[in-house]
């Protein structure tokens, strides 16, 4: 995973609430076994018309925002499906930082796993940054994860909160799986050996053949 330390970029504003993962990448583009190449389908429903032509009014199609590295929206960004194709599509387009007043849990997690920094800011600050973003190339934002600061074009600095563990993972671009195996293998083995775990059956072999389908309760 690529590190995230400091980013200076044009920001694109999408002033909508509940920007869901079906909008970020519609399901018809999930028929891939790769992580890459999804950038062209980012926001496909809004970005292209039925014939596949670009909608000139959509922010990411405007010349100033074609290289946006930051996306700003309103509340509950990334709600809906758990598809990691959403951050993959953002990343493939070139977006490394997403800013919103609030995020859906799974999407928020998925961002960190892909080197994308999700920042929660109060709505007023998001609106102020959207105003900056409206100036396109003339108003680049700088996001500094080390200092947990956003530098506005007029020099104003906005601080943001960040979980220290997640911050470290992003700053160093750490591989979660390798870290867990390295640091916790003993603890996992000890957990698996607990006598209280004995009831958990195996999925390898059915204990008996199927006899019932629905049920459990009286209203059947």
Partner 1 sequence: MQNPVTPRTLYDKIWDDHVVKTLEDGTSLLYIDRHLLHEVTSPQAFESLRAAGRPVRRPDATMAVADHNVPTSDRSQPVEDPQSRLQIETLEANVKAFGVPYFPLRSRQQGIVHVVGPEQGVSLPGMTIVCGDSHTSTHGAFGSLAFGIGTSEVEHVLATQTLLQKRSKNMRVRVEGDVAPGVTAKDIMLSIIGRIGTAGGTGHVIEFAGSAIRKLDMAGRMTLCNMSIEAGARAGMVAPDETTFSYVRGRPFAPQGEAFEQAVAYWKTLATDEGAHFDEEVVLDAAEISPSVTWGTSPEDVLPITGTVPRPEDFADPAKAERIRRTLAYMGLEAGQKIAGTPVDVVFIGSCTNSRIEDLRAAAAVLKGRKVAEGVRAMVVPGSGLVRYAAEEEGLDRIFRDAGFEWREAGCSMCLGMNPDKLSAGQRSASTSNRNFEGRQGPDGRTHLCSPTMAAAAAVMGVLCDARDLLEPELAEGAA
Binding region for partner 1 (CB under 8 A) out of 5-13, 53-61, 73-81, 128-136: 73-81
Binding status of residue 75 toward partner 1 by CB under 8 A: yes
Residues 99-118, one symbol each (x = binds partner 1 by CB under 8 A, - = not), give: ---x-xxx--xx--xx----
| β 149-151/157-159 pair status | antiparallel
63 vs 164, beta carbon nearer partner 1: 164
- Cα 103 off chain centre by: 9
157 vs 188, beta carbon nearer partner 1: 188
Minimum CB separation of residue 67 from partner 1 in Å reads 26
Q: How far apart are CA 195 and CA 180, in angstroms?
A: 23
Binding status of residue 193 toward partner 1 by CB under 8 A: no
> Which residues in 22-51 contact partner 1 (CB under 8 A)?
22-23, 26-28, 30-35, 45, 50
57 vs 206, beta carbon nearer partner 1: 206
| Strand ranges across the sheet with 6-9 | 6-9, 141-144, 149-151, 157-159
Binding status of residue 132 toward partner 1 by CB under 8 A: no
The SS3 call for residue 52 is coil
Judged by CB under 8 A, the number of residues near partner 1 is 71
18 vs 142, beta carbon nearer partner 1: 18
Query: Phi/psi class of residue 156: alpha, beta or left (left: φ > 0; alpha: ψ in -120 to 50)?
Result: beta
Binding status of residue 174 toward partner 1 by CB under 8 A: no
Q: Which residues contact 130 (CB under 8 A, 6 or more apart)?
A: 13, 15, 72
Binding status of residue 5 toward partner 1 by CB under 8 A: no
Where are the extended beta strands (E) located within the chain? 6-9, 11-14, 70-73, 97-100, 117-120, 141-144, 149-151, 157-159
């Amino acid at each position: 995973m690529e590190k995230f330390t400091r980013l200076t970029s044009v920001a694109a504003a999408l002033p909508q609430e509940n920007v869901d993962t079906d909008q970020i990448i519609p399901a018809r583009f999930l028929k891939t076994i790769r992580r890459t190449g999804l950038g062209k389908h980012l926001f496909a429903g809004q970005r292209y018309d039925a014939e596949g032509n670009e909608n000139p009014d959509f922010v990411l199609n405007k010349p100033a925002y074609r290289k946006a590295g930051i996306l700003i929206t309103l509340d509950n960004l990334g709600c809906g499906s758990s598809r990691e194709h959403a951050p993959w599509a953002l990343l493939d387009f070139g977006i490394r930082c997403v800013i919103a007043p609030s995020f859906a849990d799974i999407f928020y997690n998925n961002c960190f796993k892909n080197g994308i920094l999700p920042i929660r800011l109060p709505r007023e600050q998001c609106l102020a940054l959207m105003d900056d973003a409206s100036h396109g190339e003339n108003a680049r934002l700088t996001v500094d994860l080390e200092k947990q600061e956003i530098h506005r074009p007029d020099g104003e600095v906005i601080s943001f909160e960040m979980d220290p563990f997640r911050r470290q993972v992003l700053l160093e671009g750490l591989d979660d799986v390798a870290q867990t195996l390295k640091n916790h293998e003993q603890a996992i083995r000890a957990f698996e050996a607990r006598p209280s775990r004995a009831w958990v059956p195996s999925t390898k072999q059915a204990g008996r053949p199927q006899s019932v389908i629905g049920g459990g309760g009286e209203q059947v």
